[in-house]
Amino acid sequence: MSEPRKSGVEDRLYANEIRPDKVSHIEITDGERCLECVAKPCTTACPAGTYTLDSAGERIIINFDNCLECGACRSVCPFSVIEWKNPMGGMGICYRYG
Amino acid sequence: MNDFDAIVVGAGPSGVSAALTMARGGMNVVLLERGPYPGSKNLMGGVLYTDVLSRLIPDFIEKGAPLERHVAEKRWSLLSSDSASTAAFKNTKWDKPPFNHSHTVLRARFDKWFAAQAEGEGVELVCGVVVDGMIKEEGRVVGVRTRTGEGTDAAEGELRAPVVVLCEGANALLAENEGLKPPASSDDCAIGVKEVIKLGEDTIAERFNLEGRQGVAWEFIGAATGGLPGAGFIYTNHDTISVGIVAYLGEMKEDGSTPYDLLDTFKAHPAVRPLVRGGEVLEYGAHLIPESGVGRLPMRVKDGLMSVGDAAGLISSGPRHEGSNYAMASGVMAGETALEAHESGDYTVSGLSGYNKAVEGSFIWKGIERYSQWPGFLKQNPQLFSGWPEALAEMTASTLEVDNYATGEAEDKLMELFNRRIGVLPFAMTALQLRNSLKIFGYGKTDKLLEYISRNW
C-alpha cells in the first residue's frame, strides 16, 4: 500500500477560515538575535509554519496570516524576541469546529 | 464612573460560567470576546466533562447544547512502528443520562451556545473586542483598555468596573503582564494539534462499532508521537472525527519535530490509517495546554482582578485530561466571589481571597495535586514512547506467531526478549514511578497498608 501523501502546512491551513488582518500582530523585536540563534525553534515548533527562513537561511520571515494564535512561538523563542499581540478583534483564525 | 459591575475577558467556558454566575446574582456584567463569536479561537480534543455544566444549566441537553456524541467507550492503544495493542471498555450504562458526564464536543459550536445561554440571562456579550491591558488606579485594577476596529484603524477605548475576571485562555498575555503568571516557557506547556475530518454518520458507526449517539474516546501512546512524551487521539463527533496529537512543547522543541509532521506520521500509522481513510479535512487547529504543575501555578488574585481557567493554569496534567470542566468550576467560584465583593464593596486581594480558598478547597485542586507528577514521569521515562512499545510488540508477536506455537520455546524467547529489551530492574523502577506519579496502589497510605497486611497475614 502506498504511503498517503504528506500534506504540508499550507494545504492544511487552506481548509481553515482565516480573516486576514491588515497588519501583522507579530514582530521580532531584535532580528540580530535570530542570526545568533542556531536551532531557530520558531521555525519547527509553530504548528502553522508562521516562521520561515529567508533564502540565506538566516533571518526569519513572518507569515502572520498562517498564525493559529496558540502562542507556542512565544514560549520556544530562546531570546524572547517574538512580540506577539492579539490580532485585531474579529480577525485572524476563526474556528468553525474547534 | 463604572460602566459595569464586572468585566469578563474571554467568552470560553470559564468566562461564560463567571459571567452567568454574576448575572444570576444581579450584577451587571459585560463579557468581552476578541473573536467574531465565542468559540472562534477555542479548540480542544475533546471530551467535555459535563458535571459542572449540569449544575449550572441542569437542562442543558433539552436546551440544545451542541454535544456531538456521549462517550460510551474508551480505548487505549500502545503503538509500535508496525503494531498496535489495544484495550477497550464499552459500557451501555453510559448510554443513558447522565451519560457518565462525558460528551465529545467541538468547541466553536459549544462555546457559542454556552455564551448564548449567558446572554439569555442578562450578560452583555460583545464580540470583536481585544483587551490590551488593565486600567489601574492606585495599583488597583478598575477597568480594561480595549481595541476595536480593523487593521491600522484601531479604536482604543476604556471600560470600567470594580472587578475584572481574566478568562483569556492558555496564551495568557494579560495574566503575564499583570505578573499573575510567569512568562511563557516551553517547559510549562504541551501543544495539541488536530484535524476535524468528515466521515459521515454511517461510516463512523461502522468503523468505530457504534450505535445511535454512542461515541468513542481513543488514545494512542508510543509511536503515536514519534517517540516524544505525549499521545495521539481520536474522538468521534456526530459526523466528523477529531484526530490529533499532544506533546510536551519543551521536548518537541529540543527534538526539532514539527507538530503537523507528527500528526501526519500518526495518521499514517497502520492502526490509524484505516480509521481516517477517505475523510475530508474540514479544519486544522492548534492550542496550548498549560502544564504548570502545582508548584508554579499563577497567583490568580490581585486588587480588582481574578484569573480563571487556562489563564490561571487550572488544568489537570493527569491521564483524565480535565480542563474545560475546571474552567467552568473556577469561573463559577470567581463569579461567586465577585458577588460577595459586590455586596461588601471590598475588591482588594483580601476581599477576593474567597476565590483562592474556594479553588484550593475544591476537586480542581485535588486533581491538580494528585497528577502534578504525571508530566515529570512521562518526560523522565522516554523509553515508554520509543524503546518499550517496540519491545512489547516483539514480545507479543513472539508468543502469537504460528512458528512458535509447537516448539515450546516461546516462553524462553519471551523472557530473553524481556531481559534484553526491558530488564527486570528498569521495569520495576518505572512501575514504581508510575504508581507514585498516579498515586495509586496505596501511595501515601503506608500506615493503612501495614495495618492491612498485619490484619490479614
A63 at the B interface (CB within 8 A)? no
Mean pLDDT of chain B: 94
Residues B286 and B193 in one domain: yes
The Cα–Cα gap between B150 and B199 comes to 37
Biggest CA–CA distance in chain B, Å, is: 87
Contacts of B40 in chain A (CB under 8 A): 93-95, 98
Of A44, A89, A97, the CB nearest to B256: A44
Residues B137 and B247 in one domain: no
Contacts of B173 in chain A (CB under 8 A): 84-86
Which of B370, B392, B427 finishes a domain?
Answer: B370
Q: State the cell numbers at B242.
A: 477529531
A18 at the B interface (CB within 8 A)? no
Contacts of A45 in chain B (CB under 8 A): 186, 191, 249, 252-253, 258-259
Q: Report the CATH fold assignment for A24-84.
A: Alpha-Beta Plaits (3.30.70)
CATH of the domain at B218: 3.30.9.90
Nearest to B172 by CA among B298, B285, B46: B298
For chain B, percent of residues with pLDDT exceeding 70: 98
Residues B126 and B229 in one domain: no
- DSSP letters spanning B276-322: HTT-EEEEEEEEEEE---GGG----EETTEEE-GGGGT----STT--
A20 at the B interface (CB within 8 A)? no
**Which residues make Cβ contacts (< 8 Å) with residue A45, sequence separation at least 6?**
A72, A73, A76, B186, B191, B249, B252, B253, B258, B259
Of B39, B128, B286, the CB nearest to A70: B286
Q: Name beta bridge partners: B136.
A: B141
Q: Would you call A12 and B284 a contact, using CB atoms and an 8 Å cutoff? A: yes
Whether B282 and A16 have beta carbons less than 8 Å apart is answered as no
Of A49, A69, A76, the CB nearest to B41: A69
Q: Would you call B191 and A72 a contact, using CB atoms and an 8 Å cutoff? A: yes
The Cα–Cα gap between B110 and B68 comes to 9
Of B43, B151, B249, the CB nearest to A22: B151
Residues B47 and B172 in one domain: yes
Residues B210 and B220 in one domain: yes
Q: Would you call B184 and A93 a contact, using CB atoms and an 8 Å cutoff? A: no
Contacts of B257 in chain A (CB under 8 A): 44
- DSSP letters spanning B257-268: --HHHHHHHHHH
* CA-based nearest residue in chain B for residue A44: B258
Q: Would you call B281 and A12 a contact, using CB atoms and an 8 Å cutoff? A: yes
- How many structural domains comprise chain B? 3
Question: In residues, how long is chain B?
Answer: 457
pLDDT tens by residue, B413-423? 889 999 999 99
pLDDT tens by residue, B198-218? 999 999 999 999 999 999 999
Name the packing angle between helices B353-360 and B363-370 (round to 10°).
60
Contacts of B107 in chain A (CB under 8 A): 95, 97-98
Residues B257 and B190 in one domain: yes
Check pLDDT > 70 for residue B386: yes
Q: Is the ipTM of this complex over 0.95?
A: no
Query: Is residue B1 situated within a structural domain?
Result: no
Half-sphere exposure of A26 (CA within 13 A, CB side): 25
Contacts of B253 in chain A (CB under 8 A): 39, 41, 44-45, 76
Segments forming the whole domain that contains residue B235: 69-104+183-294
Q: Would you call A84 and B173 a contact, using CB atoms and an 8 Å cutoff? A: yes
Please name the helix (run of DSSP H) or strand (run of DSSP E) that holds residue B395, with its range, or none: helix B387-400
Check pLDDT > 90 for residue B294: no
Beta-strand ranges (E) seen in B38-129 are 47-49, 67-80, 83-90, 102-105, 124-127
Which of B243, B261, B294 finishes a domain?
Answer: B294
Query: Is residue B53 situated within a structural domain?
Result: yes
The pTM of this model reads: 0.94
Whether B163 and B341 have beta carbons less than 8 Å apart is answered as yes
Would you list the domain boundaries of chain A?
24-84
Residues B78 and B35 in one domain: no
Q: State the cell numbers at B59.
A: 437542562
A47 at the B interface (CB within 8 A)? yes
Indicate the pLDDT class of residue B151, thresholds 50, 70 and 90: low
Span between the terminal Cα atoms of chain B, in Å:
73
Query: Is residue B47 situated within a structural domain?
Result: yes
The Cα–Cα gap between B203 and B240 comes to 10
How large is the average pLDDT for residues B216-233? 95
Residues B219 and B316 in one domain: no
Q: How far is A36 from chain B (nearest CA, A)?
A: 17
Contacts of A96 in chain B (CB under 8 A): 108, 282-283
Contacts of B247 in chain A (CB under 8 A): none
Q: Would you call A44 and B257 a contact, using CB atoms and an 8 Å cutoff? A: yes
The Cα–Cα gap between B63 and B47 comes to 19
The Cα–Cα gap between B302 and B348 comes to 7
**Which residues make Cβ contacts (< 8 Å) with residue B363, sequence separation at least 6?**
B329
Residues B268 and B195 in one domain: yes
Q: How far is B288 from chain A (nearest CA, A)?
A: 6
Of B191, B240, B285, the CB nearest to A95: B285
**Which residues make Cβ contacts (< 8 Å) with residue B344, sequence separation at least 6?**
B351
pLDDT at A5: 47
Q: Which of B252, B257, B283, B289 to substitute to test the interface with A, most A CBs within 10 Å?
A: B283
Q: Would you call A95 and B42 a contact, using CB atoms and an 8 Å cutoff? A: yes
Residues B98 and B219 in one domain: yes
Residues B262 and B287 in one domain: yes
Query: Is residue B93 situated within a structural domain?
Result: yes
Please provide residue B158's backbone torsions phi and psi, each rounded to the nearest 5 degrees: -135, 145
Of B111, B130, B286, the CB nearest to A48: B286
The Cα–Cα gap between A97 and B283 comes to 7
How large is the average pLDDT for residues B289-302? 85
A5 at the B interface (CB within 8 A)? no
Which of B294, B312, B344 finishes a domain?
Answer: B294
CATH of the domain at B118: 3.50.50.60
The Cα–Cα gap between B286 and A93 comes to 10
Whether A16 and B283 have beta carbons less than 8 Å apart is answered as yes
Residues B329 and B276 in one domain: no
User: pLDDT digit of tens for each residue in chain A (98 aa)?
Assistant: 344 445 579 889 999 999 999 899 999 999 999 999 999 999 999 999 999 999 998 899 999 999 999 999 999 999 999 999 999 999 999 999 99
